[in-house]
Structure formats: structure tokens, C-alpha cells
Amino acid sequence: MGFEWEKLKRKVPSYLDYQNERTRNNATWLVVTQALTEKDNLSLGWAHAGATPGDPGQHNTPGGPNPPNSANMYTVAWKHAVDSALTLYANYAATINNSAAHYDLGAGGHAVTVDCHDSTPEAAFDATTGTTSNTGPHCFAGGHLQGVSVGAQYRF
């Protein structure tokens, strides 16, 4: 069993608090692991990211103070030890974003993120003309993302 709690604080002037999406008072992670057999275990996890005091409104969110941008992630992981060096695993995760939240799966490097990948070309500034072309990519808040990962880990 494991539990983690964090409080994030970004120091900004009070007049900018309406767009402060970096301060978060409550972020938690809870995991419970149960041995099923001598070689198998099952883990269940729940993560919660509490709402922030503000939102700059840079995506498809309205922006402003006290946005509904909390999120929950639920995970299930199974591991099977074939021997002392080889372990097989299967994981499932679901992130449930509130309407102004844009948390993603895969952002930690295990996969490609999906909430900020639309077909809009990346914005580019042309210093010779002073103009900006394109506006993307855009992030989409409020998504319910799911993912599955299966694999093997071999320790030398």
C-alpha cells in the first residue's frame, strides 16, 4: 500500500491569480497491491488532482478564477514473475478530466500524449514579416482518456 500527497505553490502577484493554473493544494496518489499467488500480484491505483485557483484560458477552456479543472485517474496493473529475471505485465489506466482539465496519459514518457495533438500545424512566427502562421496544436480539456500497456521486463 502506498500514499502520496503534494501541494504545489506558484508565487504570482494576487492580480494574476485568476490565471494561476500551477498552484494546486491537493494532489494525491493511493495504490494498493495484493499478492494473488507466489508469482502474481494485482495493483489498484487512484490519483486525484484538485482544482487550481485560476486558468489562463489558452485551450478550449473559458479561463478565469476557480475553474472546474480537477481530474481523477484510475489504474489496474497485473504482474506475473516468470522467473527471477523475467516479469510480464499488463496495465490499464483511465483519466477522467473535469470540463476545464487537460491531464493526459503517456505524458511521463511511456507513450505518446493525445490531448494536445490535433491536426492544426504548429504556430510559427516569421520575423521577416512580423506575422504568425497557424495556431496549433490545440489541447482539448474535459477528455476521458484510456490506455492499455502490456509488456515484459527482463533484468540482467
Q: At 34, which amino acid appears?
A: Q
What is the tens place of the pLDDT at every residue in 16-42?
999 999 998 799 999 999 999 999 999
Does the pTM surpass 0.85? The reply is: no
Radius of gyration of the chain (CA): 20
Does some domain include residue 126? no
Split at pLDDT 50, 70, 90, the class of 91 is very high
Task: Please report the pLDDT score of residue 89 as a whole number.
Answer: 98
Angstrom distance (rounded) from CA 47 to CA 14: 29
Report the candidate in 122, 125, 126, 124 with the shortest Cα–Cα distance to residue 136. Answer: 122
CA 17: distance to chain centroid? 23
Which of 12-16, 40-44, 113-117 is the most confident on average?
40-44
Does some domain include residue 133? no
Angstrom distance (rounded) from CA 136 to CA 87: 41
Q: Is the pLDDT of residue 146 over 70?
A: yes
User: Please, what is the average pLDDT of the chain?
Assistant: 88
Enumerate helices (H) and strands (E) in the chain, giving the number of each: 0, 10
Task: Output the domain CATH number for residue 67.
Answer: 2.40.160.10
Task: Please report the pLDDT score of residue 111 as a whole number.
Answer: 58
8: containing domain: 2-113+141-154
Does some domain include residue 124? no
Does some domain include residue 38? yes
Split at pLDDT 50, 70, 90, the class of 104 is confident
Does some domain include residue 120? no
Does some domain include residue 119? no
Does some domain include residue 54? yes
What is the tens place of the pLDDT at every residue in 126-139?
888 888 877 766 67
Does some domain include residue 131? no
**Domain tally for the chain?**
1
